[in-house]
Structure 1
Amino acid sequence: MTVQNILRSTKWVEIPTNLSIAELMNDNVSNTSYDKIIYEDALTGKTATYGGFRRQVRQSAYWLQHVLGVKPGQKISILCPSCIDYILVVHAAWWIGAVASPINNSLHRKEIAYAVDLIQPDYLVIHDSLFETVPKALELCQKRPPRLQILTLGNGHSNWGSFPTSAILNAQEALFPEEEQAFSLNGQDSSKTLSAILLSSGTTGSPKAVMLSHYNLISAIYQLRADNPDNWRGSQREIFFPPLSHVYALYVCMTGACWLGAYVCLMPRFDLEVFCRLMQDRKATLARLVPPIAKLLAENPSVQKYKYASLEYFSCSAAPLNAETAGKLRKVFPSVALCQTYGCTELSGPCVQSGVRDKALPLSAAGTLIANTEMRFVDLDGADVGSKGPGEVTVRGPNVMMGYKENPEATANSQIDGEWYRTGDLGYIDGNGFLVIFDRIKDIIKYNGFQVSPTELEEILVKHHLVDEAAVCGVWSEKDLTELPRAYVVLKRSISHSSEDRIAHAKSISIFVSGQVSSYKQLKGGVVFVDALPKNPTGKVLRRVLRTERERFERGGITAKL
């Protein structure tokens, strides 16, 4: 099929099609010194050098292959706070051709069980803080892998095995031969070989397992660097706080920094004071933000206690910054460029970025296409509407996922014309050639960069003894600069509807949901009681109507706002 109105990147780069990620990491593209520190743990002060980390990867891979018996293609899931050893596990898996599958360590045990059921890992590497959570979570699995082996990072627990951490590897260096070769894809098509599985809700429905190939992840860092080398260079330095289970970390910490030899200081949890001090002391050249953190940097007076002499630019993602916050941020950091990024898990990270070069970037714009990327805009029927749109953003490129694991229907629904990924976002190209995202046609809620599935929350809500029907939508909060999940609930007819009782009902419902999901999925947007939910003739709830006609449904006020 011939497609018109295709927007193409102005830059194209040759991307290898027969390399594994492990083979690529052997290329010292920035001529990095082997004794340069590239990773540091913010809390412990533990560090890893460019050469030392690669040696530890080979040692860990040898142990996985020859002691544990891990084979190419087997899946290793990781639940752990951000730390160097987390990244070590991922690269060791890649070195022997295994598949790395990060899972958010803050998930509720029911969510962990769902992830295990979906991914079906052969090995589960966990942090010691999850000793009690993981066994309880596995008891909730519907189809727990029969030979699942649990490993801990370092100390071991009960009858579980222990993954050799970098400290252990350094003490036992002689046990691991240097001649072990990286998993090779020479003569093979790297786009057909799975390298990572990440959880994503896609455009609709419950979380899905996104399959990313070696070619996908290699392409992403090639594309980003070729498009904007000032933003992707070995001399960059940053303090990274998002969880390592996020696609953000996959292309920044796991592949990008390791390949370029760039410095990353890992924060397992965000603390403004610590973040600012580290940016000063570690001479950070960039800071990756989400809108709520940008708001803190723009408004909290403690930020100005520190000096940021090396800071060149901010890169904000997850949602556009509003003009007020962006203006305040620029006043506090007048010499720091404000850049944006747009993408998703299914695209192995970003497909659009701006950088220090884009001095005229409007506050509402995300940037321009990265190298080797094509984009088109379509209406609800899939017909092209042109780059001025508005229309659904669809993307084609080497970074587009292999598909959703064991879900061909969802994979097919995510595509148009067989190869274009449908993002579910509405956008257009402005007069300066920048992408502007102004709405989403998909139902997924984005809370501080995390994806929240309305379907998942609705399935929990209807199990509450007071609830007859429920629909969940995202509502934008100017205060928090993010979307918040809000529940619209129809109470059962036998339930009292007095004002006093409604407050108690809302509190009960909120607590019920909070007890079954992680913190970012809680009903922070409140509970709204309605007489009926808007539906189409076939009975499907129209969340779009709830969003566009909120005032009509919220006359009774919002209760139990958390």
Structure 2
Amino acid sequence: MAAHNILRSPKWVDIPSNISIAELMNDNVSNTPDDKIIYEDALTGKTATYGGFRLHVRQSACWLRHELGVKPGQTVSIMAPSCIDYILVVHAIWWIGGIVSPINNSLHRKEIAFAVDLIQPDYLVIHDSLFETLPRALRLCQNCPPELQIVALGKPHNEWIQFLSSPISGTPEVSQAFSLQGRNSATIPCAILLSSGTTGKPKAVMLSHHNLISAIQQLRADNPDNWRGSQREIFFPPLSHVYALYVCMTGACWLGAYVCLMPRFDLEIYCRLLQDRKATLARLVPPIAKLLAENPIVQRYKYPSLEYFSCSAAPLNAETAGKLRAVFPGVALCQTYGCTELSGPCVQSGVRDTNLPLSAAGTLIANTEMRFVDLDGVDVGSRGPGEITVRGPNMMMGYKDNPDATAESMLDGNWYRTGDLGYIDNNGFLVIFDRLKDIIKYNGFQVSPTELEEILVKHDVVDEAAVCGVWSEKDSTELSRAYVVLKGGSASRSPDIQAVYAQSISKFVSSQVSTYKQLKGGVVFVDSLPKNPTGKVLRRVIRLEQEKFEKGLLAKL
């Protein structure tokens, strides 16, 4: 391979390979005073100081080790709304050498069962809002870990559950952070996150201590202005998302930066908190960016401390970006690009990038390489467009118990295939051109078409089905839309009958999946689905010819 086909970050930093993520957290890189508040719960007002949080981590680690019996290398899954105790448990698990595996607490019980089967945790820490849902979910497991222990955050309401209480003064602690004892940190897992990858059902992404340490050091080395201890933010995405992993779990705690946690998004509360907490940055996803750009509620508040927006999870379209800049003329608009398999971003822009085009994502973070390839894996050059492939120290260990999926996601030379099409523009910024992968992104969440299709074909009237994402300008996100072949080839039935079928199909899917996976893009009835010679449905053809497929056939709900 010619060297000029590889795009390399201009910045490289030495990243330690012999320490744990818990040991890294002992470094006070910003000289943060112990009494500085670094975490706050938006709804309850509960706070945690830099010094107090670390003490409580050591105390909680003691309970996990000596009362619960958690051993190094064991996996602890967490299902709870965003709160300080959630982050506390994560760091306590790392402190004793455990593996953290966050699961979205809003999942449907069938999805919870799938996640438990996939991750195979030794322990499951849950919020009390899941006391009724969890037992039902575990009964649906195909391979539930036989020794799985359930733990509650706070005082339990059930006899079958143990509980992890908030530490109090005088609680014993584990004084020493988990040590790798000379082992390579790239070979020791510390986190497992769910991701759909480029195709298929969700997979369990294994991230090592080295991956997580690398990600935050790469980001900070590339752009210190974006990653400093004095920054202040209001964070609303769920803590189960990779977004939270590098922002709340590792980055903010390492830097001693302030984060106010919102368990659910409310525009008025969010704007008020941005003002009252003197936020210096706002991390967004495109639908929230659209609200900030267009909703009059935003104008009721002032944001004198706000320096920049950082938009992630999906590309921000130029129209929304332009409106946002018009409403916030003194605030820089930054973007990031990455994925769970890369422990978060591999590309970012920052307050320094004043000439960043509205359509661009930014430049490579430190210690990162990128190349662009065609469908056969042959280099097409940085001007592409081609599939974006990346390598760096933040790249995952692989998919848990799925070597075939891991191999399919890689090219020779340890290059991760993102499934996204992109190119480098004249100013050296990455532009996301399109996506090769079938995964739908709804408000930053990944939706697997395969998962929805397997549900659809179980409906009594459905013969075949394909699911694709359709862009909604109104919602500023992709929506899942089903293209359905009815049994008996009855796509031409009357609109009234189709509307009844569409409602029935949509309700059938909604009863088995989370809200963000529902068919919000509607149902389209077609006579047949485009297929290749081997019978595989060609979703890309459907996407390219959506107008033809939908002409007179779309049953909107």
Give the TM-score category using the shorter length: over 0.9
Give the letter aligned to residue 57 of structure 2.
Answer: V
Deviation at 1:2, TM superposition (A): 6.7
Select which of 391, 401, 404 maps to 1:406. Answer: 401
Q: Does 1:271 align with 2:266?
A: yes
Deviation at 1:331, TM superposition (A): 1.5
* Aligned Cα root-mean-square deviation (Å): 1.1
Q: 2: CA distance between counterparts of 1:310 and 1:28?
A: 25
Deviations 1:118-144 (A, max 9, x none): 000010000000111100000000000
Counterpart of 1:297 in structure 2 is: 292
Select which of 518, 526, 541 maps to 2:537. Answer: 541
Select which of 296, 302, 305 maps to 1:307. Answer: 302
Deviation at 1:500, TM superposition (A): 1.2
Give the letter aligned to residue 18 of structure 2.
Answer: N
Q: 2: CA distance between counterparts of 1:4 and 1:359?
A: 27
Report if aligned partners of 2:489, 2:527 keep a CA contact under 8 Å in 1: no
Report if aligned partners of 1:153, 1:162 keep a CA contact under 8 Å in 2: no
Q: 1: CA distance between counterparts of 2:288 and 2:38?
A: 24
Report if aligned partners of 2:151, 2:164 keep a CA contact under 8 Å in 1: no
Q: 2: CA distance between counterparts of 1:413 and 1:361?
A: 34
Select which of 329, 332, 340 maps to 1:337. Answer: 332
Q: 2: CA distance between counterparts of 1:80 and 1:100?
A: 13
Counterpart of 1:111 in structure 2 is: 111
Write the mapping of 1:64-103 to structure 2, written as runs, cut at 5 A.
64-103=64-103
Q: 2: CA distance between counterparts of 1:299 and 1:434?
A: 27
Select which of 243, 251, 256 maps to 1:248. Answer: 243
Q: 1: CA distance between counterparts of 2:316 and 2:385?
A: 20
Write the mapping of 1:66-465 to structure 2, written as runs, cut at 5 A.
66-166=66-166, 169-170=167-168, 173-177=169-173, 180-465=175-460
Deviations 1:7-50 (A, max 9, x none): 00010000000110110000100000001000000000000000
Deviations 1:315-374 (A, max 9, x none): 011222222211211121110000000000000000000000000000010000000000
Q: 2: CA distance between counterparts of 1:394 and 1:165?
A: 44
Write the mapping of 1:436-515 to structure 2, written as runs, cut at 5 A.
436-493=431-488, 497-515=493-511
Deviations 1:501-538 (A, max 9, x none): 11100000000000100000000010000000000000
| 3-state DSSP of counterpart to 2:554 | coil
Q: 2: CA distance between counterparts of 1:333 and 1:155?
A: 44
Give the letter aligned to residue 33 of structure 1.
Answer: P
Report if aligned partners of 1:4, 1:384 keep a CA contact under 8 Å in 2: no
Q: 1: CA distance between counterparts of 2:530 and 2:305?
A: 53
Q: 1: CA distance between counterparts of 2:96 and 2:312?
A: 33
Q: 2: CA distance between counterparts of 1:395 and 1:494?
A: 45
Give the letter aligned to residue 108 of structure 1.
Answer: H
Q: 1: CA distance between counterparts of 2:380 and 2:399?
A: 28
Give the fraction of aligned pairs with identical amino acids, expressed as a percent: 80
| 3-state DSSP of counterpart to 1:230 | helix
Counterpart of 2:523 in structure 1 is: 527
Q: 1: CA distance between counterparts of 2:396 and 2:160?
A: 34
| 3-state DSSP of counterpart to 2:143 | coil
Q: Does 1:27 align with 2:27?
A: yes
Report if aligned partners of 2:293, 2:320 keep a CA contact under 8 Å in 1: yes
Deviation at 1:418, TM superposition (A): 4.3
Report if aligned partners of 1:485, 1:525 keep a CA contact under 8 Å in 2: yes
| 3-state DSSP of counterpart to 1:105 | coil
Give the letter aligned to residue 348 of structure 2.
Answer: Q
Report if aligned partners of 1:468, 1:490 keep a CA contact under 8 Å in 2: yes
| 3-state DSSP of counterpart to 2:478 | strand
Deviation at 1:52, TM superposition (A): 0.4
Q: 2: CA distance between counterparts of 1:51 and 1:262?
A: 13
Give the letter aligned to residue 325 of structure 1.
Answer: T
TM-score (norm 2): 0.98
Deviations 1:398-457 (A, max 9, x none): 000000000000000000014000000000000000000010000000111000000000
Unpaired segments of 5 or more residues in structure 1?
none
Give the letter aligned to residue 525 of structure 1.
Answer: G
Deviation at 1:494, TM superposition (A): 7.5
Q: How many residues align?
A: 556
Deviation at 1:67, TM superposition (A): 1.2
| 3-state DSSP of counterpart to 2:77 | strand
Q: 1: CA distance between counterparts of 2:268 and 2:495?
A: 42
Q: 2: CA distance between counterparts of 1:164 and 1:553?
A: 53
Select which of 549, 552, 559 maps to 2:555. Answer: 559
Counterpart of 1:8 in structure 2 is: 8
Unpaired segments of 5 or more residues in structure 2?
none
Give the letter aligned to residue 97 of structure 2.
Answer: G
Q: 2: CA distance between counterparts of 1:240 and 1:328?
A: 22
Deviations 1:207-261 (A, max 9, x none): 0000000000000000000000000000000000000000000000000000000
| 3-state DSSP of counterpart to 2:73 | coil
Give the letter aligned to residue 98 of structure 1.
Answer: G
Deviations 1:85-106 (A, max 9, x none): 0001110100000000000000
Q: 2: CA distance between counterparts of 1:144 and 1:123?
A: 12
